[in-house]
Amino acid sequence: MTPSQPTAPASKVADFFALSRQIELLLTARNLRGMQQVQQQLRPGYILRAARLFNLPAGSTLLIGTGFPVLDTFETDGPVGAIALYQAAQALNLNPYLVCGKPLFSLLAQHYQCAELPVNQLQGRVAQARQLLQQLKPALVLSIERPGLSAAGIYVNMRGEDISARCASFDELLNQAPCPTLAIGDGGNEIGMGNVQAALAGLNITPSITECDELVVADVSNWAAWGIIAMLSVLQGRDLLANANLLPLLQFLTANGCIDGVTRQSTLTEDGLPYQAGEQLIQQLQALVQPYISEPDNVAPD
């Protein structure tokens, strides 16, 4: 809370917490890959806490890591949410970077401020992370749908395949960060899932052991980004979802080689779900937050 920011009354704080819980449950309603089980290990209110991490001084730098390799390209889930969070950060007068490896970097760097991670260089990942952190001095490091290292020190996809040779390592940016870290995942093998190892034991995956300060789970990682932006809308008192552009983003990505991570097809889908499912979720989020945004006496909790 800044000195000029009023303290919210207890009733308002409770309202914000209740809204956060509604969003959290909505994001895992389909339970496609067991995220309801994982959610039970998380302290409720994590969407609200995640949104509060964006309460930073103007000009603060954010690092947003994304890009999960599929075959010789990248999947639609992750980059859409990363771009959405990037645009939300810009609306808050923050200084975001998208951080990823090739081939995704080659595409995104043409349109957004980006930092490149070298692919297939696990041995030098600690030094690389420290150098990037020293160079950019972030106030928040965020990972969305990035593969996380397993206990064996490799990256494994949902099919059990070792994909280390096609991965750029983002894990150490969270491990070494001198600032808060936030991670988003939907399956258990992503960065951040080290926070919930016990809950992952019953899932048919090779889990990630990389931890974070705040973990957000969802049926589709992109959807968690929209959930955080919805909560940010409430904290800011303005509709940051008003220009949510899911379909154009999917069209942009698929036109440049992006594929669905589940079907491995070049379609306007996220984890096998049609884009209309994501659009419906955005509409549901807007309906949830609109009463809060329209209240003239709305005050964000400290």
Give 125-162 pLDDT, tens digit per residue.
999 999 999 999 999 999 999 999 999 999 999 999 99
What value does the mean pLDDT take over residues 12-23?
Answer: 92
Distances (CA, A) of 119 to 105, 134, 170, 193, 259: 11, 20, 10, 22, 19
pLDDT in tens, 184-206: 999 999 999 999 999 999 899 99
> How confident is residue 294, by pLDDT bands cut at 50, 70 and 90?
confident
Q: What is the CATH number of the domain that holds 205?
A: 3.90.1640.20
- Total structural domains within the chain: 1
The residue segments making up the domain with residue 104 are 11-294
The verdict on residue 235 lying in a domain is yes
- The pLDDT, as a whole number, for residue 49 is 98
Strands 114-116 and 95-100: parallel
Amino acid sitting at position 155: Y
What is the C-alpha radius of gyration for the chain, rounded to an integer number of angstroms? Answer: 18
Q: Are 142 and 183 in contact (CB under 8 A)?
A: yes
* Residue 97, beta-bridge partner list: 63
> How confident is residue 122, by pLDDT bands cut at 50, 70 and 90?
confident
pLDDT in tens, 71-104: 999 999 999 999 999 999 999 999 999 999 999 9
Q: Are 4 and 298 in contact (CB under 8 A)?
A: no
> How confident is residue 12, by pLDDT bands cut at 50, 70 and 90?
confident
Query: Is this structure's pTM higher than 0.85?
Result: yes
pLDDT in tens, 221-265: 999 999 999 999 999 999 999 989 999 999 999 999 999 999 999
Is residue 5 over pLDDT 80? no
Strands 69-70 and 73-74: antiparallel
The verdict on residue 301 lying in a domain is no
The verdict on residue 3 lying in a domain is no
Dist. CA 38–CA 185, nearest whole Å: 11
pLDDT in tens, 18-31: 999 999 999 999 99
What value does the mean pLDDT take over residues 99-117?
Answer: 97
Dist. CA 92–CA 279, nearest whole Å: 23
> How confident is residue 291, by pLDDT bands cut at 50, 70 and 90?
very high
- The pLDDT, as a whole number, for residue 11 is 65
The beta strand positions in the chain, using DSSP E, are 61-65, 69-70, 73-74, 95-100, 114-116, 140-144, 181-185, 214-217, 269-270, 273-274
pLDDT in tens, 176-186: 999 999 999 99
> How confident is residue 8, by pLDDT bands cut at 50, 70 and 90?
low
Q: pLDDT averaged over the chain?
A: 93
CA angle 42/44/47 to nearest 5° reads: 95
The verdict on residue 249 lying in a domain is yes
- The pLDDT, as a whole number, for residue 4 is 41
- The pLDDT, as a whole number, for residue 299 is 46
Q: What percent of the chain has pLDDT over 70?
A: 94
- The pLDDT, as a whole number, for residue 100 is 97
- The pLDDT, as a whole number, for residue 240 is 97
